[in-house]
Chain A
Amino acid sequence: MSDRSFTPAFISFKALSGWLRALAQKATVHAPRREGRAVVYRELGDGQGLESFLRPTESAKHVLFPRSEALFSFQRQGEAAGAASGKIRLQEPEGEGPAIIFGALSCDARGFLSFDPVYDGCGTAQAVGGIAKDPYYLRRRANTSIIVRACKSALNTCFCHWVGGGPASTEGADLLATDLEGGLLLSPCSEAGAALLEHPDCVPALPEQIAAAAALHAAAERSLGEAPPAGELAASRAALLALFENSEFWQRQSAQCLSCGACTYLCPTCYCFNITDESNGIAGARLRSWDSCMSALFTLEASGHNPRAAKAARLKNRVGHKFSYYPAIHEGRFSCCGCGRCIKSCPSSVDIRKIVLAAIKEAAHV
C-alpha cells in the first residue's frame, strides 16, 4: 500500500470508449453490458454504451475465479498410451494476461477481500504441510485492476453499509469512477489505478468536479436505509453459534428457500468450488468449477452420509459462514459485501438481512 496521494482525472463520455479501447490493448477489459433482462460482464467490444451507469446482475468474481477452469490437463503417453500403467503427463494451463474490470460496483471490489485471505492460504495456517496458496486466483488477482463505478443511489436490497462498505467505497478498488455531467471523475486508489489514467483524454479533474463527486457520494450514502449499529451486527458471530441446534428457527427461516444456487453464484464473496475430472480415457482435465453450499451434494459423502442433508442445515451454514465462522478466523470481517444480489435475485425472496437480524434477536431472547 502506498501513502502517496493520487490526482483525480476526468474523462468525457465521448472519450470514454477510446480510453477503454486503449486499455484493452494491454489488458482484457471486462465491462457491464445489458443482455436481455440481465446485465452481464462482457469483454469490451467497441466500448460503446458505457456512458450510462449499469448495475450488473452478476458479480465480477468470475474474472478472477472463472465459473470453471482446468486446474491441469493430463495426457497418457507412450506405446500403449491407453493402458493404466502408461506414463502420464500433467500440464498446468498457461495463465492469462492482465485484466481490467471496468464498472464494477464498490461492493464487487470489496467482495474480493473475502477471497483474498482464503486463497492466500490463511485458512491453512495451521496445516503442517505449510501454507497452501491458490496460484490460479492469486495470479489473476495480481494481474487485474478494478475500476469501481460509484453507485448513484441504493436499491432497497442494498446493505453495503451494514458491512463496512458504501456506494463509493474504494476498498479493493484501483480507480473510483463517479458519474458527473458529461463524463466520469476517475479517482485513483492505487498505483495500478493511477497508471490507467496515463491517456491523453484523462484530463486533470477540476476542483468543482471533485466536490460534485463528493456530494454525489454523500447523496448515494443517504439513499441507503438505516443500518443496524455495527456492534449489534457483530453479535451475529455468537448468535449464529448459539442457534446452531435450534432446528425450528432454521426450518422457519429456510421454509421458502428453494435450495438453488442463485444466491451463491451471484454473490461476490462466495468462493466455494467443486473439483471434477473430465476425460476421454487418454487425455483429460481436472476442472475447478463453482459450487454452492446450498446444494445437497456439496457435502454428500461417498458412504451416503450427509452432514447437511436438509436445506435448513445448508442455509444455516451459508448464513453462519458469512456472519460467524468466516469472521471468527478472518479478523472479524464478514464474508458479505452487502450487495444484496442474493436478495434481489432470489426466486423465492429469501432475505439474508432478515435472517441475521432474526438470529441476533432470537439468540438474545434465549
Chain B
Amino acid sequence: MAVMQGKELRIVGFLCNWCSYGGADTAGVGRFAQPTDLRIVRVPCSGRINPLFILKALTSGADGVLVSGCHPRDCHYAEGNYYARRRLEVMRGLLPVLGIDPGRFEYTWVSASEGQRWQHVVEEFTKQIHALGPIGRFPDAPELASLGLGAG
C-alpha cells in the first residue's frame, strides 16, 4: 500500500509474539507516543524470521526493516533468538553489496515489560530511516509493474 506522501516512510517490523510484540503492547498501554511509520508483522519467534523476509521487504519497497525478539536467554522457545542473531547478523552483510544502506535494517531485543525501550527503539529507528530517505528500487517486470503489482 502506498505510504502517506511526505509524512511517512514504509517501515516493516517483525516481532516475536512473546517478548517484543508484548513490549510494543506495553508501550501502547503506557501511551508511549511513537512515530506512525512502523507496521508490525507478528511471528511466534525471532527464530521464525527467515532473513529473506527482510530482503523481500527491502526489495519490495520497504524503506526500513526492524526485527525484535526476546533478549538472549529469554527466548520463549529457548534458542530461537540465538539462531536469529546469527542469521540476521550474517544477512546484513549482503546489504552493502546490493547497494542497500545497511542502516535500513536493524535488529534488537525488547522484552514484554520494556515498553519504554520499545518506544525508544521505534523513535530512533524511524529517525534513522527518515535520515536515509526513500529506498532505491530494483525495477519490476513491466508486465507486473503496469498492473500495480510491482514493488512499492
Contacts and interface: CB of A to CB of B under 8 A. Distances in A.
In the complex they form, whether A and B have CB atoms below 8 Å apart is answered with yes
Query: Taking chain A's interface residues, is the majority helix, strand, or loop, or is none over half, making it mixed?
Result: strand
B19 to A, nearest CB: 32
Interface string B91-108: 000000000000000000
Interface stretch (B62-70, B72-80, B115-123, B142-150): B142-150
Interface in A62-91: 68-70, 73
Contacts of A285: 143-144, 147, 149
Contact of B143 (A68, A279, A280): A68
A279 B143 CA distance: 12
B131 interface: no
Interface residues of B, number: 7
A284 to B, nearest CB: 7
Contacts of B146: 70
Contacts of B149: 278-280, 283-285
A91 B143 CA distance: 13
A287 interface: yes
B143 A69 contact: yes
Contacts of A287: 143
A108 B116 CA distance: 66
A69 to B, nearest CB: 6
Interface of B: 141, 143-144, 146-149
Interface of A: 68-70, 73, 93, 278-280, 283-285, 287
In the A-B complex, the 9 residue pairs with the smallest Cβ-Cβ separation, listed nearest first, are A70-B143, A73-B147, A285-B147, A283-B147, A278-B149, A69-B143, A280-B149, A68-B143, A278-B144
Given A69-B143, A70-B147, A283-B148, 15 more contacts: A68-B143, A70-B143, A70-B146, A73-B147, A93-B143, A278-B149, A279-B149, A280-B148, A280-B149, A283-B149, A284-B149, A285-B143, A285-B144, A285-B147, A287-B143
